[in-house]
Amino acid sequence: MDWLELIKSAKKTALIQDGKRKVHYKFSNEDEMAEEYNLETNILVRRAWKRGGALRKTGLWEVEVGDPEPVMQSFDVGIKENANSPYIVKRITKTNIEWRIRNLSYPVETYSVTADPDARCLIIRTTNKKYFKKIQVEELDRVNLCPEQKNIDFSHKYNTLIITYKKPPEVLELEQKVLQELKNVQTIKDGDLPCKPS
């Protein structure tokens, strides 16, 4: 099923709160998706998934766009991930898809970012072989496009590698169609929430 049909067929609820339109989707396969859009710009600021099915249900949300979920400290395990490990935050702007890979201290000339049309992803590597990462571009998959090198740009500052991918017209068009669909969803405003009796 294509992305627009998936969005249309989902059970949707929407709420306006804190300057954002928050939309919750329930899909027929028991997956759930939560999105937040900036009310002024209509730009997606967060998308997270909770996968359905008895075996896959962990109760945790996988973040596709926006800041990662805060990690809860566990006191019963003596092993934890290094706080200085590189991690990726994905952002959406009006014209670009952007990834920020934090905690990468090498100079900009150390990095290469290449489109791999066969694997349908971007590949980030360093000349010193200290970092390698494949990044899927879901927005391109949803319109059945492969990444193209001409749409990639990157820079480095404050220990962060910033990768931008220019959205092709097909992605921009799909985003507009999804926004049109969301305008039809009955939306609750924050002040209209029913109070629960105690």
Residue 54 included in any domain: yes
Interacting residues of 30 by C-beta distance below 8 A, sequence separation 6+? 52, 53
For the chain, give the percent of residues with pLDDT over 70. Answer: 84
Quick one: pLDDT at residue 123?
97
Residue 75 included in any domain: no
Model pTM? 0.84
CATH number for the domain spanning 157: value is 2.60.40.790
Whether pLDDT at 58 is above 80: no
Q: Which range marks the domain in which residue 58 is found?
A: 1-66+85-187
Alpha carbons 91 and 74: distance in angstroms, whole number? 29
Residue 194 included in any domain: no
- The band of 38, judged by pLDDT with boundaries at 50, 70 and 90, is very high
Question: Strand pairing of 121-126 and 32-38?
Answer: unpaired
Q: What is the DSSP string of 17-61?
A: ETTEEEEEEE-TTS-EEEEEEETTT--EEEEEEE--STTT--SPP
The encoded tokens of residue 85 equal 């490990």
Largest Cα–Cα separation, the chain: 62
Residue 133 included in any domain: yes
Residue 77 included in any domain: no
Residue 52 is classified by DSSP as: -
Residue 97 included in any domain: yes
Residue 72 included in any domain: no
- Total of domains in the chain: 1
- Region 131-155: mean pLDDT is 96
The encoded tokens of residue 39 equal 């009310």
The encoded tokens of residue 118 equal 């066969």
Residue 42 included in any domain: yes
Q: If DSSP codes are grouped into helix, strand and coil, which group holds residue 138? A: helix
